[in-house]
Amino acid sequence: MSANASNTAAATTGEVPVLVRTRDAEIIQDGPTSLITLLADTPGLTANLATFRKGSPGAPAHFHTRASEMFHVTEGTMRILLGEEIVTLETGDFLLVPPHTTHAFAPAPDTEAKMLVVFTPGMDRFDYYRLLERVHRGEADFAELRATSERFDNHYVDSPVWREAIAGE
């Protein structure tokens, strides 16, 4: 088994340590201004590194019913919808969002950012990110994305607070 195949098996079974080298990580382009580097997708957690260029819309308002989502900003500044409040995370800041909490995120205006995103427990989420890339390429549509809400525990909602926060950008 090749090193890449070994890493893939480790990243999906959760039975052995997971080591992902930057050069071997799968990178998904989920929009014209954002990338998702897939790191680990185990029963215990799902992890990715999200990279946002200036003007990236980030992720729309949504919630999870089965997983907590953790954010650690590694570079730049992020705006996060947390329930009905907008919070700003700077480099080094950490946020844990429990299940059923509406949240959204995007880089602060006129900034770029990188953020480690971790879900626990894991939920075979890499296919969700690949679907986002297919939507970006025009190979799938939002109806297909919405149809996966239960499978990937990603439930989109409308948030007037978030809409107002990102209006005019």
Q: State mean pLDDT over 4-15.
A: 51
CA 159 – CA 163 distance, rounded (Å): 6
Q: State mean pLDDT over 100-125.
A: 96
Q: State mean pLDDT over 72-101.
A: 98
- Min mean pLDDT across 8-12, 39-43, 67-71, 106-110 is at 8-12
- Residue 27 pLDDT exceeds 60: yes
- Determine the pLDDT at residue 15: 73
Q: State mean pLDDT over 81-99.
A: 98
> Residue 47 is part of a domain; what is its CATH number?
2.60.120.10
**Torsional class of 168: left (φ above 0), alpha (ψ -120 to 50), beta (otherwise):** left
- Determine the pLDDT at residue 6: 43
| Confidence at 29, pLDDT banded by 50, 70, 90 | very high
| Confidence at 167, pLDDT banded by 50, 70, 90 | confident
Find the radius of gyration of the CA atoms of the chain.
16
The two tokens of residue 42 are 């185990």
- Residue 14 pLDDT exceeds 80: no
User: Is 146:140 a contact under the CB 8 Å cutoff?
Assistant: no
pTM: 0.89
- Determine the pLDDT at residue 159: 97
- Determine the pLDDT at residue 78: 98
- Determine the pLDDT at residue 168: 63
35-62 residue pLDDT tens: 999 999 999 999 999 999 999 999 999 9
User: Is 13:42 a contact under the CB 8 Å cutoff?
Assistant: yes
Phi/psi at 143 (5° precision): -65, -40
Residues of the domain holding 85: 3-166
Number of domains present in the structure of the chain: 1
